Structures are given as C-alpha cells and as structure tokens.
Amino acid sequence: MFYTKSSLALGALCALSVAPAMAAPDWAKAPGRTITVFYPGVSPIEWITKGTEHGGARAMKKGETCASCHDEEAADMGKKMVSGQKIEPKPIKGKVGAIPVKVQAAHDGANLYLRFTWKQPAGGAEKMDKDNAVKLAVMLEDNKIERANLSGCWETCHQDARTMPEGKDDKKTKYVAGGDLKSGKFYDLIQWTSKGVKHDGYVADKRVMEGGKALLEAKGEKKGDEWVVTFTRKLGGGEGDISMAAGKTYNLGFAIHDDHTSGRYHHVSLGYTLGLDAKADLTATKQ
C-alpha cells in the first residue's frame, strides 16, 4: 500500500479538524465545600444597603462580606423568609427555606469544571415554570464591580426588576448599576436547565442569556433523590465571558430554581471566591 502526497495532506487535515474529547476531572480529587443556598425573599441590594432595615449594612461599608456574617446562618435566614416571617409578602406553601449543595471545582489549564450536588427537597408548590423542574445558574465576576466581592450576585438584584413587588416593568430583568461590557463591569452568567437547554450570557446594564463563547457543556441528571449538575467552561471566551487564569481569584455566586419556580422565587448563595490554583473559598486545582 502506498500514499500520495495529496492523501497524506488530506489525512493530516482531517486529524487536525477532530477536536480532542473533554476529559472530566477526577471529582474524588477535586476540592469542594458545602454551600447553603437559601430563599432570599424580597431582599434586593437596596434593602441590603439600607442601614435602617439591614443591620449588616454598616459592616459592608467597613468591607465585611455577606458570607463572613451569614455563611453559618443561611439556613435559618431562609426558614424565616420562606415562611413569611421576614421580607416575603407572598409565602409559597410547601417550599423549603434552604438547600445544602456540595460544590467542587477543577481545571486542566484550558477549561474550568464546576460540579454541584444536592438532594431534591420536598416540593409541591405551584409550577411557575412547567418546562423545567430545576434550573441552576452560576455567575462569575472579575473583581471589576464595586461590592461584588462583598455581596456576591446581589449587585444584580434590584427592587424595580420584574417579579419584585415594586417592579412595574415586566421586561426589566437583573442588571448592574453602571454595568458595562467594554469596561468589564458585568457578571458572566451560565445556566443549565432540566429541559436540557444551556445558556451562556451576562448581566451588565441588562441580562442577556445568549452570546457567550466560553460554555462548552452543561449537563445534569437526577440519581435517586440526588441532582448532579456539571459545567465545562473555557478559561477564555468572547464578549460577555470573563477571561480566567491560574493564580487568580474571582467572585462566584449561584442560584437554584427548584420545584418548577421562576423569577425571584429561587434559592441563592451568598458571594464566595473561586481561585484557580489560588487560595479562595473554593479552589480549582489543576488535574
């Protein structure tokens, strides 16, 4: 058997065009921590920073993070709010106040891998989103937005947004005050839905759910009573994607829409730091 120059060139071209398969990390070796997501009620950033209603406003002005004060009491806060005892005018019957979630991270020098695991809580509330039993969204931020390192995703939550009691405009979504893609003042947003749809967008002056280039894969499955959701994201990206690198830390927050809920009726995390081979609340080490 012999090969011509043209056949060899064609074979080489075909070999280059086949992308290598993404190898999932060994999750048994990936560092992780349990983060409690809780029901936030009506607690937009305006409420958080208003000292007359939120005692932590003074601590935030001194540079203390929400997580430093509330990490261990997140479940108790969620219980108060979901029951209507505090800042929730429309309690949802049957909804749990908090969900403990195991979060793990790893990277391979080209991609970031995130894994979320939690047990399905009891439900039975009204099905707001009939198409999705569960949605999980992650926001990443590159230390460009004021207070993002303190308040996490709350910088995108405002009292005039739709589904909020004061929201008058049904088209007004999450946004960042002074948000701007060109200056880097935005949150990188990725989302997985149980319907099987993935979203790669951002939150700047408004929320945009598509257009990002970094998210390679988002998948999830329910094993018995346990959900497992994983994301594979390139460290680089395009417009609306933050660029990530080893040795640096970023701000991270995530939210779970459980039991077919939508809008503000979700469970959210406080703000945490994510480091790539760097000390942080959650560290992604290279595998």
HSE, CB side, 13 Å, CA atoms: give it for residue 227: 24
User: Which tokens in the block code for residue 250?
Assistant: 């970023």
Q: Phi/psi at 266 (nearest 5 deg)?
A: -120, 180
Give the angle 192-262-69 at the CA atoms, nearest 5°: 85
The C-alpha angle with vertex 96 and arms to 93 and 101, in degrees rounded to 5, equals 155
Dist. CA 140–CA 187, nearest whole Å? 6
Give the predicted TM-score (pTM) of the model: 0.91
Q: What is the CATH number of domain 25-286?
A: 2.60.40.1190
Q: What is the pLDDT along the chain (287 residues), one digit of tens a residue?
A: 444 444 444 444 444 444 445 688 999 999 899 999 999 999 999 999 998 889 899 999 999 999 999 999 999 999 999 999 999 999 988 899 999 999 999 999 999 999 999 999 988 778 999 999 999 999 999 999 999 999 999 999 999 999 999 999 999 999 999 999 999 999 999 999 999 999 999 999 999 999 999 999 999 999 999 999 999 999 998 999 999 999 999 999 999 999 999 999 999 999 999 999 999 999 999 99
Give all strands (DSSP E) within the chain, no chain letters: 32-38, 98-107, 111-119, 135-141, 187-193, 198-203, 207-208, 215-223, 226-234, 249-257, 267-268, 272-276, 282-286
Q: Do 36 and 101 meet the contact criterion of CB atoms below 8 Å apart?
A: yes
